[in-house]
Chain A
């Protein structure tokens, strides 16, 4: 491989290749290979273009999907929610006017933008990608450098196919060994965030490396990179390997025939070599990771399922206020076991964990059981492709006969911009990525993050459970 012996890591290699110039501010003007957009953060950006009489520079490198506000029950237009309908109309009109392909509800590839992009083969190693959504870090699973951006930057990328950004440092996060049975990619990423903190990654891009990530399939890698942002990192990535190349073969946007072989060779040559330099390194032992559950109001406030919620005494002084605030909001006590916590709602979905392998794992747990009385349980596939595949495999029947609702593709209860919401003080076992106050639609609603299999186990038992006892 060309890069063997090179000290340059993937991040810096890709960054240099995409640098247009250094701006007077000292930031880099970085070329963006693919721009993904959705209905929530794009309308104001299109307006900025209109206000200045600008156009989209590379409409053919821009793809739109609708996901955040999509109802998952009744998708007849106009939507019952007038504001959601207005946003739909806006993205339809904007995409038409600026010549951008839109994965609308009638498109078999519509779905959460971070599920649909990779499925289509748009996300490839060695490219840069941006999207007006913080979980754009998901695409890093392919060794793609992917940034979540704000609306002003969406306008920047529209007009110039570049963005202004300061160069982050690169930290290698190594997880060695093997995850034990019943421990998933979600647990690994929650564990890393727990150990490094929600601001541990500020100023860094994360390179995830080591046996645990090497062994993962692409969907698991996406789960890990997805939550880089929860750890404060600007982006996260995993070096491309044969798993990456195999995934990309025969996708709609993948190169075909001999071009694919040339592509594969180039992709693999992007990877950090064994002598690559990093600004920082941390290491964890995968064998020590347990099924992990959050108990608080940020994603680092988590414990292993058999551990207790921490006591104030075990917390550093400057974090104690935060701990008390979280306990008060959650109505939990210090030293309370997390296992056995009663739940009201179970949500399997979101760009973290709504792919086919997630649904397969959850279905394995649900099969032959029934959702506990008084628990409302939802399965929301991440895309229409996932939905179709799941139905082909009969997973929807397993879920439905276990008492789960089977819904149409979208973001749904991950942030509840559509009708799927928590009510009042409900507690939700959720496979999503954020447990912030009010995140799931009720200002006082409570979220416990965990893997999809753990959500299924909680749904069946009505309480937070150790999924390993059900496998």
Chain B
């Protein structure tokens, strides 16, 4: 699998806390049997209600790094949320913190969710708002996000970081490798044997 060590792209600031998955992709777009076409509906309702929403603004189209707030991606487990962001063009998310299922879903799709402190996020947001063509680099190896000459530390759950930088973020392949070991664990559990 592809190793993901660093991402360089323009950024889009969305400095709000507790953005839930219903806002990222409203439930009516979950009526589908594939993830295709979800990109154009990212933040659909927020965009309808707010012409100023960053996802509506021409200067942020084509951005690859999303700058988020606290507890980004809370709410449902729908993988449609990271899928819609990914298909919109998001390749990495820098936020203050992330909801856990969302974080796991992103990792499974090769999108690093990294944490930076609020002051760093504020400065990054200000920089890309003033000059939207600015490119940021999220580097998972030396754990920084850089913007021109400025560099800020980032953190990420170590297991997820490891799996991305070593190209092991496709868990399915690893999990099926040890089927016999899995069956042994099952054998030891009394409920798997109907408490015989």
Contact = CB atoms under 8 A, between A and B. Distances in A.
A439 B30 CA distance: 13
Interface stretch (A39-47, A70-78, A279-287): A39-47
B175 interface: yes
Contact of A84 (B31, B175, B182): B31
Interface stretch (B12-20, B57-65, B129-137, B143-151): B12-20
Contacts of B32: 83, 87
Interface of A: 17-21, 23-27, 29, 31, 33, 40-41, 43-44, 47-48, 52, 54, 57-58, 68-69, 81, 83-84, 86-87, 90, 124, 126-127, 132-134, 136, 148-153, 155-156, 159-166, 198-199, 202-203, 232, 234, 255, 259-260, 262-263, 266, 298, 318-319, 321-322, 325, 415-417, 434, 436-439, 441, 443-444
- The B interface, classified by DSSP as helix, strand, loop or mixed, is helix
14 contacts: A18-B185, A25-B160, A26-B159, A127-B189, A127-B191, A136-B77, A149-B104, A151-B105, A156-B172, A160-B175, A160-B179, A262-B190, A436-B23, A438-B27
Given A151-B79, A438-B23, A232 B194 contact: no
Contacts of B34: 43-44, 47
A417 B162 contact: no
Interface of B: 16-18, 20, 22-23, 26-28, 30-35, 44-46, 48-49, 70-71, 74-79, 82, 97, 99-101, 104-105, 108-109, 118, 157-160, 162-163, 166, 168, 171-172, 174-176, 178-179, 181-182, 185-186, 188-192, 194-196
B185 A19 contact: yes
B175 A152 contact: no
Nearest to A298: B18
A23 B182 CA distance: 13
B100 A234 contact: yes
A443 B48 contact: yes
Contacts of A162: 175, 182
Contact of A148 (B49, B77, B176, B185): B77
A429 to B, nearest CB: 19
Contacts of A232: 71, 74, 99-100
Nearest to B74: A198
A41 B189 CA distance: 28
A20 B189 CA distance: 12
Given A152-B171, A164-B171, 18 more contacts: A17-B188, A17-B189, A18-B185, A21-B181, A23-B159, A24-B168, A26-B162, A31-B189, A33-B189, A134-B101, A150-B79, A162-B175, A166-B157, A166-B159, A199-B71, A202-B99, A234-B101, A263-B191
Contacts of B157: 166
A33 B185 CA distance: 10
B105 A48 contact: no
B111 to A, nearest CB: 12
A140 to B, nearest CB: 15
A202 B97 contact: yes
B191 A33 contact: yes
A454 B165 CA distance: 51
B74 A25 contact: no
